[in-house]
C-alpha cells in the first residue's frame, strides 16, 4: 500500500517519529464503506485498518463464541486430555494443578479449580516460587505431588519439562500450555499446545487460559454425550478475558470474542475475587481491556513477582468475601512495592543499555541482585523506548535469571530456545514476543552475543524508530462520546489490534500542567469553542511535556487515542496524548 508519508508534514515529531497516515487505498476503502453502511468515517477507517470488508463489518462488530470458537479437537491430544480429566473426576481421584506464577497461569488454575469445585471436587494448587524454583515444573515438586495425587495438570508450563514430568512417578500428567514447543514432547498422557511444532499454528495466538477453556468445552461436550451436564462455562469467560489481555495475546479471531464477552461477564461483578480486586484498584466503571491490562493484571501478577506466588490464583478462585478482600489488599500493596523496585531497576538497566549501545539487534542489561520479578517489565520498558528486542537479567551467584520482550516481526522465543540448544543458556524458552532464560554468569556475554546474532538474521538490526501510524484527522468538535463508543465496537483493542490513533491538527493549547511525578495534563481547542482534555502518562520524562508546557501560544498538531472519561457519573471525551508537533 502507498502511504502518505509525513502525515500533516510531520517528519520528526516531539518524540522523534515520522507521522504516517492512511494509504490511498485505505482512504478509498474507508469512504466506500461509509457510503455503503452509513457508519461514521472514523469507525470505517478502523475496520479497514483491520482488513475488514464491507460485507463482514456487522459480524466483526459483534464477535460471538458461536461463530468464532474453534473445535477443541482441532488441537492435538485434546480428546485424550479431556477424557483423562473426566475419568479422574468420575473416579474422584486426587488432582493437582501445577501453574505458572503469572496472570495466565493463575487464571488457568482458577478455571480448573472452579470447574472442579462445581463438580464437588477440591484440587491441590501448586505454583512454584519465582526465585527459589524458577519457571515451570521441577523434579522435586513434581515428585512430591505425584506421591499424593493421581493426576497432575500443568497449565501455562510443561511443554519443555521432560525431566520433571518423568519425575512424577505414579501419577498421570496432562499439559495445557501455549509456549513454544521443542522437537520432542515430554512423555505424558497429553500435551495440548497450539504452539507444538506439529501444530498448524492457526491457533497459536491463544493464551494458556484459552487452551484450558477449550479443554473444559471438550469435557462438557463429552459429558453431554454421556447424558450429563457440566458446569457453566460462559460464566468463566471473565478469567479467559483477563488472561488474554494480561498475557498480551493478540486480539484477533476468537480472542476478540473471549475478551468482549468476558468483559460483559466481569461487569456483573459475580466473581468475588475479581470484584475485590477491582474495588481496591479503584475501578468505578464498566471494565475495558485497558483495565485488564493496566489495573487488574499487574495486581494479580504482583504476588508471583515479589510476594507469595499463589496469591493471585487463590484470589481468583476464592469464594469467601472477607478472604478475597484481604488478599486483594495484599496484592495491591505488593503491586505498589513492585513499582518501586521496578523504577530502581529500570533506571539502572537503561543507563547500562545506553552505554552498551541501543542500535544493535538486541538491547540488554544485567545487574547484581536485580529482582527476578521485575526484569520482564523492565525489558518491556527497554523494548518500548528503543523499538528493539530487549533482555534484562538479574544476577545472583553464578547464575542470572532474565526475561525478554520482542517487537513485531522478530521471534525472540525461537532465538532464546536456539541459544539454549547451543549450550549457551542453562535453560530458556517462551514465545515470539516474550521469553525467559537462565544463564551462567561466565556465559553471559557469549549468550547475549549469540542471541543478538540470531535476531540480526531476522532483521532486528535494521529496525528504525517506530513511525507513528495515524488513522486520520479529527476536529475537536467531532470527537463526541457517541463517536468513541461507536469506535469501541471495533474492539477490544490491545496487542495485535491497536486502538485507532487520530491527529487533531492546528489546535491551541488552552491549559497545560504537570500532574503527579511525571504526567502531563493538557486541554486544547480549535478556537471555535470546542475543547478536549488530554492526559499524557510519563509525558514529563521526555521532550513532549516540556514542549507543550512552554507553548507560549503556539499551535500544535496533537496525536493520540480517544477514550471516554467517567468522573462522578459524567462522561466526556479524553485524548490519551502520545505525540505532538508544531503546526507550521
Q: What is the pLDDT of residues 220-276, one digit of tens each?
A: 999 999 999 999 999 999 999 999 999 989 999 999 999 999 999 999 999 999 999
Round to whole Å and give the CA distance between 296 and 335: 10
| Range 68-75 average pLDDT | 97
The reply to whether CATH 3.90.1640.30 applies to domain 72-332 is: yes
Helix or strand or coil: residue 177? coil
Q: What is the pLDDT of residues 102-115, one digit of tens each?
A: 999 999 999 999 99
pLDDT score, position 5: 62
Exposed/middle/buried for residue 241 (C-beta within 10 Å: 0-12, 13-18, 19+):
buried
User: Helices in 191-320 by DSSP H: which ranges?
Assistant: 208-225, 237-246, 254-267, 272-280, 289-291, 297-306, 311-317
- Identify the band that residue 310 occupies on the pLDDT scale cut at 50, 70 and 90: very high
pLDDT exceeds 70 at position 15: yes
| Range 184-211 average pLDDT | 97
In this structure, how many other beta carbons lie within 10 angstroms of the beta carbon of residue 287?
A: 22
Round to whole Å and give the CA distance between 33 and 253: 21
User: Which cell numbers hold the place of 429?
Assistant: 524458552
Task: Say if residues 457 and 361 touch (Cβ distance below 8 Å).
Answer: no
User: Helices in 38-90 by DSSP H: which ranges?
Assistant: 41-49, 57-61, 65-68, 78-90
Please report, for the chain, the start and end positions of each structural domain, with discontinuous segments joined by +.
7-21+470-582, 72-332, 357-459
Round to whole Å and give the CA distance between 304 and 302: 5
Under CATH, what is the fold of the domain 7-21+470-582?
OB fold (Dihydrolipoamide Acetyltransferase, E2P) (2.40.50)
For the domain made up of 357-459, the CATH class stated in words is alpha beta
Calculate the average pLDDT of the chain.
94
Q: What is the pLDDT of residues 134-156, one digit of tens each?
A: 889 999 999 999 999 999 999 99
- Identify the band that residue 2 occupies on the pLDDT scale cut at 50, 70 and 90: very low
| Range 512-532 average pLDDT | 93
Q: What is the pLDDT of residues 321-378, one digit of tens each?
A: 999 999 999 999 999 999 999 999 999 999 999 999 998 999 999 999 999 889 999 9
> Between residues 542 and 188, which one has the greater pLDDT?
188
pLDDT above 70 coverage of the chain, percent? 99
User: Which cell numbers hold the place of 576?
Assistant: 490519551
Dihedral of alpha carbons 52, 490, 66, 87, sign: positive
Task: Say if residues 312 and 266 touch (Cβ distance below 8 Å).
Answer: no
Amino acid at each position: 500500500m502507498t502511504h502518505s508519508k509525513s502525515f500533516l508534514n510531520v517528519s520528526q515529531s516531539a518524540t522523534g517519529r515520522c507521522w504516517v497516515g492512511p494509504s490511498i487505498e485505505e482512504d478509498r476503502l474507508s469512504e466506500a464503506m461509509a457510503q455503503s453502511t452509513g457508519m461514521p468515517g472514523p469507525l470505517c477507517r478502523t475496520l479497514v485498518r483491520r482488513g475488514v470488508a464491507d460485507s463482514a463489518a456487522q459480524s466483526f462488530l459483534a464477535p460471538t463464541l458461536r461463530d468464532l470458537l474453534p473445535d477443541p479437537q482441532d488441537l492435538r491430544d485434546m480428546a485424550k486430555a479431556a477424557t483423562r480429566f473426566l475419568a479422574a473426576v468420575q473416579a474422584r481421584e486426587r488432582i493437582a494443578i501445577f501453574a505458572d506464577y503469572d496472570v495466565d497461569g493463575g487464571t488457568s488454575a482458577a478455571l480448573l479449580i472452579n470447574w472442579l469445585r462445581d463438580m464437588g471436587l477440591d484440587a491441590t494448587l501448586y505454583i512454584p516460587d519465582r526465585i527459589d524454583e524458577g519457571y515451570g515444573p521441577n523434579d522435586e515438586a513434581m515428585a512430591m505431588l505425584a506421591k499424593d495425587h493421581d493426576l497432575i495438570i500443568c497449565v501455562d508450563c510443561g511443554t519443555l519439562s521432560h525431566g520433571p514430568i518423568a519425575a512424577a512417578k505414579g501419577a498421570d500428567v496432562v499439559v495445557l500450555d501455549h509456549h513454544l514447543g521443542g522437537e520432542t514432547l515430554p512423555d505424558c498422557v497429553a500435551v495440548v499446545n497450539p504452539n507444538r511444532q506439529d501444530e498448524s499454528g492457526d491457533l497459536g495466538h491463544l493464551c494458556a487460559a484459552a487452551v484450558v477453556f477449550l479443554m473444559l468445552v471438550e469435557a462438557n461436550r463429552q459429558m453431554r454425550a454421556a447424558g450429563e451436564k457440566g458446569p457453566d462455562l460462559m460464566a468463566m469467560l471473565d478469567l479467559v478475558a483477563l488472561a488474554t489481555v494480561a498475557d498480551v495475546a493478540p486480539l484477533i479471531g476468537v480472542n476478540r470474542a473471549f475478551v468482549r464477552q468476558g468483559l460483559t461477564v466481569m461487569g456483573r461483578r459475580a466473581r468475588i475475587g475479581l470484584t475485590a480486586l477491582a474495588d481496591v484498584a479503584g475501578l468505578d466503571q464498566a471494565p475495558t481491556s485497558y483495565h485488564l491490562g493496566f489495573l487488574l493484571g499487574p495486581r494479580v501478577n504482583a504476588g508471583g513477582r515479589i510476594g507469595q506466588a499463589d496469591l493471585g490464583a487463590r484470589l481468583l478462585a476464592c469464594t469467601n468475601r472477607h478472604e478475597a478482600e484481604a488478599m486483594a489488599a495484599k496484592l495491591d500493596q505488593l503491586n505498589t512495592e513492585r513499582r518501586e523496585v521496578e523504577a530502581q531497576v529500570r533506571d539502572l538497566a537503561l543507563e547500562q543499555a545506553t552505554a552498551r549501545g541501543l542500535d544493535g539487534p538486541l538491547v540488554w542489561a544485567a545487574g547484581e541482585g536485580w529482582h527476578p520479578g521485575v526484569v520482564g517489565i523492565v525489558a518491556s520498558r527497554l523494548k518500548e523506548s528503543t523499538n528493539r528486542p530487549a533482555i534484562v537479567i538479574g544476577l545472583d551467584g553464578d547464575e542470572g535469571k532474565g526475561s525478554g520482550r520482542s517487537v513485531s516481526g522478530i521471534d525472540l522465543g525461537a532465538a532464546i530456545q536456539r541459544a539454549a540448544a547451543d549450550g549457551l543458556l542453562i535453560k530458556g524458552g517462551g514465545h515470539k514476543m516474550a521469553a525467559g532464560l537462565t544463564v551462567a554468569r561466565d556465559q553471559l556475554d557469549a549468550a547475549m552475543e549469540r542471541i543478538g546474532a540470531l535476531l540480526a538474521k531476522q532483521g532486528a538490526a535494521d529496525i528504525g524508530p517506530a513511525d507513528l501510524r495515524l488513522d486520520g484527522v479529527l476536529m475537536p468538535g467531532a470527537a463526541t462520546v457517541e463517536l468513541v463508543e461507536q469506535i469501541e465496537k471495533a474492539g477490544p483493542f490491545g496487542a495485535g489490534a491497536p486502538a485507532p490513533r487520530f491527529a487533531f491538527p492546528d489546535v491551541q493549547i488552552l491549559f497545560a500542567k504537570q500532574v503527579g511525578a511525571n504526567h502531563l495534563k493538557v486541554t486544547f481547542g480549535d478556537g471555535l469553542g470546542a475543547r478536549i482534555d488530554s492526559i499524557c502518562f510519563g509525558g514529563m520524562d521526555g521532550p513532549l511535556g516540556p514542549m507543550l508546557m512552554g507553548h507560549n501560544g503556539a499551535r500544535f498538531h496533537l496525536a493520540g487515542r480517544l477514550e471516554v472519561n467517567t468522573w462522578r457519573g459524567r462522561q466526556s471525551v479524553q485524548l490519551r496524548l502520545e505525540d505532538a508537533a508544531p503546526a507550521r
